[in-house]
Amino acid sequence: MKDLEWKDEYLLGIPAIDFQHKRIFDCLLRIAHGATDDDRLRAEAEIIKLLRLLQEHFLLEESMMQKLHYPDLEHHSAEHRQFHSDVHHLGQTSLMKKGGVPREAIKIAHQWLTEHLTVSDRHYMEFFASASNKSRRTKKPAK
């Protein structure tokens, strides 16, 4: 389970975003812990929670991207939609089966999250940083 835990190397530097990312990881970890026992109600509640956390998080990121005219918004949103739909599908299929959420599915979701955070999310963070540096440079000094 240690490999599923949050790592500070995933931090991006915007506290609200980092906080949400960490909550998403923690939720997935709780699902992983519950995957070994057969408590479907608990697993179901955690998957519903994960879907809600993802929805809130994606909404926040996409609204920030919109405000700052991030050029890759469409592609980034498509990644979000795909993952949300995959988790939804995972919840539906694994809760119908005995044994709960398969370990393999958790590994795949974890891999998606780490890749998305360290590549796609980092990419927009760098764009935001350079956009704010540019606007600071172009601002006229106060007289």
- Cα separation, 22 vs 53, in Å, equals 10
Query: Which of 87, 79, 68, 86 shows the shortest CA–CA distance to 132?
Result: 68
**Stretches 33-41, 42-50, 62-70, 115-123: which one binds Fe ion (CB under 5 A)?**
115-123
Considering only residues 2-61, where is the footprint of Fe ion by CB under 5 A?
A: 61
Output the smallest distance, CB 43 to Fe ion, in A.
24
Output the smallest distance, CB 69 to Fe ion, in A.
16
Closest CB to Fe ion among residues 23, 40: 23
Output the smallest distance, CB 142 to Fe ion, in A.
36
Other residues' Cβ atoms within 10 Å of the Cβ of residue 21:
22
Q: Is 121 an interacting residue with respect to Fe ion (CB under 5 A)?
A: yes
Kindly tell me the burial class for residue 77, based on how many C-beta atoms sit within 10 Å of its own C-beta (0-12, 13-18, 19 or more): middle
Which residues contact Fe ion by CB under 5 A? 61, 121
